[in-house]
Structure 1
Amino acid sequence: MRLSFNMKFNAGLDGILNTQQKMNRAQDQLTKQTRILTPADDPASSAKVLGLDQNLEQVSQFQNNSVLLKNNLALEETVLTNMRTSMDRVKTLAIASGNGTYTVAERNALSEELKNIQVELFDLMNTRNSEGGYIFSGFQDKTPAFAYDQASNSYFFQGDDGQKALQISPTIAMPGNDSGKKVFEDVNARFKPSTPVVSAGGATAATITMSDQSQFDAFYRNNFDGLPAATNQYNVVLTAPSNYEILRDGVALTPPVTGTFTPDQPISFAGLGITISGAAAVPGQVDFTLQPPQKKNMLTTIGDFITALDNPNISGSAFNEAVNDVLTQIDNASSNIDSTLSAIGGRVNVLDSVFGTNEDLTINNKAYRADLSEVDYAAAITEITKQEIALEAISATFTKVSGVSLFDYLR
């Protein structure tokens, strides 16, 4: 076979270039720390590595969401804890104000402290997070959660019931906030009956006092019926010679509630003291109803109590009602806050658990990815060394062979 100069030269050059390509590939593997430079190197492993990369990116986003959620929940927990402390102080001041020896000046001093606490609570209820959003406004986080209406001397909610959730795993989305409507606005006002009315007989007066609020609250929850309204009416029926029976909408209770009636002596019933005056009260009847439940903003209740403290002409019974109102609603609001704090603690526990699981998944996926794609350093260095030796050998051979020609034999 006849070999031309070009064929000889090209054959040598191809050998050099192929060896350089192999050495460069080994160097790229070492530099990029992967044995799969293109999908063609290992199609099956390449597809698996691509899936693992996507999974790692997804888990990384879940972890970022978890950190953001935990920070938001920590902020809310701090705010609610501080509010709880302030509300305990309100309760302490309300109890102290019931001291009958307090002068007008002393009540005014309590009022001033309560005003400062009210401002503090209002500020906390409008707390913003690091992104500038109001944490208790629900989805309307660019609007302050609560505002004050000077005309009615009341506070009202401006947000909504929304809870913004973030995904922390493929199947778990965790809310990072609580609506102020649920925590502060939807607080049950004190349950109490209506003013009693003398509907029959010669009674001159009838009053109802609260002797045991917790007992009445339990009775109210078990017996109040929204429809029909008539079922919430109770009748104290007085019969000769000096007996009473309490009916519900004209029907005897089960078991019957009966006893001996004495004018101006309270009749005990479900935590209430029903006092009927008048020597000619028997026979006769006094009616009262269970009023519908009301929701009231706790700041408004504190404001009403401040008004009572600042009123030097308020009667003793009216002031006691104001004290009982604020104590009951502060207890109800505190219970709301305690429940929310408990829920936050539960969410944080879930966050920590899922965060740990995601970390384990990340470690496992990275290890599997390394097994599939990472280069063996010893093998890569050995390959580079081998190709360097081969390149030196083929270069030396190419130099010698390319220098030989037919003229060398003619000389």
Structure 2
Amino acid sequence: MRLSFNMKFNAGLDGILNTQQKMNRAQDQLTKQTRLLTPADDPAASAKVLGLDQNLEQVAQFQNNSVLLKNNLALEETVLTNMRTTLDKARVLGIASGNGTYTSAEREAVAQELKNIQIELFDLMNTQNAEGGYIFSGFQDKKQTYSYNNATGIYEFQGDDGQKALQISPTIALAGNDSGKFVFENVDARFKASPAAIAAGGATAASVIVTDQSQFDAYFKKNYDRLTPANNDYNVVLTAPSSYEIQKNGAALVPPVTGAYTPDAPIVFNGLTITISGAAAVPGQVDFSLQAPEKKNILTTIGEFITALSDPTISNLNFNEAMSDNLVQITSAATSVDRYLSSIGGRINVLDSVYGTNEDLTINNKSYRADLSEVDYAAALTEITKQETALQAISNTFVKVSGISLFDYIR
């Protein structure tokens, strides 16, 4: 076979270029610290690495969400803990105000201290996060959570019931806030009976007072009828010569509630104390009702109690009612705060657990990715050395072969 000069030259050049390409590839692998420079190097491993990269990015976002959630929940937990302490102070002042020896000036001093507590609670309920959002306003976090209505004297909630949730794993999303509508607004005010009304007979006075709140609350929750208001009407029927029967909407209770009537002697009924005055009250009838339950935030309740404390002309009965309203509402508000503090603690526990799981998953995925793609330094260095040696040998051979011609033999 005839070998031309061009054929020998091109064959030698191709050998040099191929060897140079192999050496450059080994150098690139060492520089980029990966053996997969293109998908063609290992299609199966490249596909797995791509999936692992996507998973690592997703888990990294989950971890960022977890950090953000934990910061938000920590802020809310701090605010609610401070509120809990402040409510305890308000309760102590409320109990102290029931001292029968307090003068009007002393009650006014309590009222001033409660005003400061009310301002503190108002400020805590309107707490903002680092981005300037109101943490208890739900989705409407650019609106101040509570504002005071001068016309009605009521503190009004201005947010909504939304909760902003963030994904912390493919299947778990946790709320990073709690709406004030549930924490502060969805709190039962004190269950009460309406004032006694003399419907018949010669009674000179009548009163119905809640004297055992827990017993009355239990009876109220079991018997209050939201569908038929008439079933919440009660009658104390006085019959000759001197007895009484308590009826519900004109019908006897089961079992019947009866007893002997003595003017001004208390009649005890499921936490209520009913007092009827007047010897000529028999026969006769005194009516009262279970008042419809209502929700009321603690700011408004404290404001109403401050008004009662500042009124030197208020009767003992009305003051005691205002004080009872205040104490029961403070207890209900504290219970609600405790419930949400517990909820925050549970969410933080879940966050910590999932965060740890995601960290373990990240380590495992990175290790697997390294096994698939990372370069073996010893092998890469060996390959570079081998290709350098080959390149040197091919270069020397190329020089000698390309220099052979007929003129060399003629000389």
With the shorter chain as reference, the TM-score category is over 0.9
How far apart are 1:4 and its partner, in Å?
Answer: 2.0
Which amino acid counterpart does residue 224 of structure 2 have in structure 1?
A: F
- Name the counterpart of 2:80: 80
Taking the aligned partners of 2:398 and 2:94, their CA distance within structure 1 comes to 103
How far apart are 1:212 and its partner, in Å?
Answer: 0.6
- Name the counterpart of 1:24: 24
Q: Does the CA-based 8 Å contact 2:208-2:288 persist in structure 1?
A: no
- Name the counterpart of 2:365: 365
Which amino acid counterpart does residue 310 of structure 1 have in structure 2?
A: S
Taking the aligned partners of 1:111 and 1:406, their CA distance within structure 2 comes to 121
- Name the counterpart of 2:92: 92
How far apart are 1:227 and its partner, in Å?
Answer: 1.5
Matched residue SS, 2:191: coil
Matched residue SS, 2:279: coil
Runs of 4+ that moved beyond 6 A: none
Matched residue SS, 1:280: helix
For the pair 1:146 / 2:152, whether they are aligned, the reply is no
Taking the aligned partners of 2:333 and 2:181, their CA distance within structure 1 comes to 12
How far apart are 1:171 and its partner, in Å?
Answer: 1.1
For the pair 1:287 / 2:278, whether they are aligned, the reply is no
Matched residue SS, 2:48: helix
Taking the aligned partners of 1:342 and 1:259, their CA distance within structure 2 comes to 47
How far apart are 1:396 and its partner, in Å?
Answer: 1.5
- Name the counterpart of 1:263: 263
Q: Does the CA-based 8 Å contact 2:147-2:156 persist in structure 1?
A: yes
Taking the aligned partners of 1:306 and 1:203, their CA distance within structure 2 comes to 34
For the pair 1:404 / 2:404, whether they are aligned, the reply is yes
Which amino acid counterpart does residue 265 of structure 1 have in structure 2?
A: A
- Name the counterpart of 1:12: 12
How far apart are 1:54 and its partner, in Å?
Answer: 0.6
Q: How many residues align?
A: 411
Taking the aligned partners of 2:150 and 2:401, their CA distance within structure 1 comes to 104
Q: Does the CA-based 8 Å contact 2:193-2:209 persist in structure 1?
A: no
Which consecutive residues of structure 1, in runs of 5 or more, have no partner in the other structure? none
Taking the aligned partners of 2:110 and 2:197, their CA distance within structure 1 comes to 36
- Name the counterpart of 1:162: 162
- Name the counterpart of 1:53: 53
Identity of aligned residues (%): 75
Which amino acid counterpart does residue 277 of structure 2 have in structure 1?
A: S
- Name the counterpart of 1:2: 2
Which segment drifts farther, 238-247 or 121-130? 238-247
Q: Does the CA-based 8 Å contact 1:136-1:180 persist in structure 2?
A: yes
Residue correspondence of structure 1 range 338-349 to structure 2 within 5 A: 338-349=338-349
How far apart are 1:403 and its partner, in Å?
Answer: 2.1
Which segment drifts farther, 388-397 or 154-163? 388-397
Q: Does the CA-based 8 Å contact 2:193-2:210 persist in structure 1?
A: no
Q: Does the CA-based 8 Å contact 1:156-1:185 persist in structure 2?
A: no
Matched residue SS, 1:238: strand
Taking the aligned partners of 1:167 and 1:23, their CA distance within structure 2 comes to 47
Taking the aligned partners of 1:257 and 1:98, their CA distance within structure 2 comes to 33
For the pair 1:189 / 2:189, whether they are aligned, the reply is yes
Q: Does the CA-based 8 Å contact 1:127-1:135 persist in structure 2?
A: yes
How far apart are 1:248 and its partner, in Å?
Answer: 0.9
- Name the counterpart of 2:172: 172
- Name the counterpart of 2:317: 317
Matched residue SS, 1:132: coil
TM-score normalised to structure 2 length: 0.98
Which segment drifts farther, 80-89 or 201-210? 201-210
- Name the counterpart of 1:306: 306
How far apart are 1:115 and its partner, in Å?
Answer: 1.0
- CA deviations on 1:165-187 (whole Å, 9 max, x unpaired) are 00111111111000001111222
- Name the counterpart of 1:239: 239
Which consecutive residues of structure 2, in runs of 5 or more, have no partner in the other structure? none
Matched residue SS, 2:13: helix
Matched residue SS, 1:274: strand
- Name the counterpart of 1:375: 375
- Name the counterpart of 1:44: 44
Q: Does the CA-based 8 Å contact 2:265-2:275 persist in structure 1?
A: yes
Q: Does the CA-based 8 Å contact 1:210-1:273 persist in structure 2?
A: yes
Matched residue SS, 2:280: coil
Which amino acid counterpart does residue 91 of structure 2 have in structure 1?
A: K
Taking the aligned partners of 1:146 and 1:222, their CA distance within structure 2 comes to 33
How far apart are 1:61 and its partner, in Å?
Answer: 0.5
Q: Does the CA-based 8 Å contact 2:194-2:288 persist in structure 1?
A: yes
- Name the counterpart of 2:134: 134
Taking the aligned partners of 1:281 and 1:111, their CA distance within structure 2 comes to 41
For the pair 1:205 / 2:215, whether they are aligned, the reply is no
Matched residue SS, 2:408: helix
How far apart are 1:404 and its partner, in Å?
Answer: 2.1
How far apart are 1:344 and its partner, in Å?
Answer: 0.7
Which amino acid counterpart does residue 127 of structure 1 have in structure 2?
A: T
TM-score normalised to structure 1 length: 0.98
Q: Does the CA-based 8 Å contact 1:65-1:166 persist in structure 2?
A: yes
Taking the aligned partners of 1:108 and 1:273, their CA distance within structure 2 comes to 30
Taking the aligned partners of 1:254 and 1:388, their CA distance within structure 2 comes to 105
Taking the aligned partners of 1:170 and 1:225, their CA distance within structure 2 comes to 45
Taking the aligned partners of 1:314 and 1:285, their CA distance within structure 2 comes to 28
How far apart are 1:358 and its partner, in Å?
Answer: 1.1
Which amino acid counterpart does residue 196 of structure 2 have in structure 1?
A: P
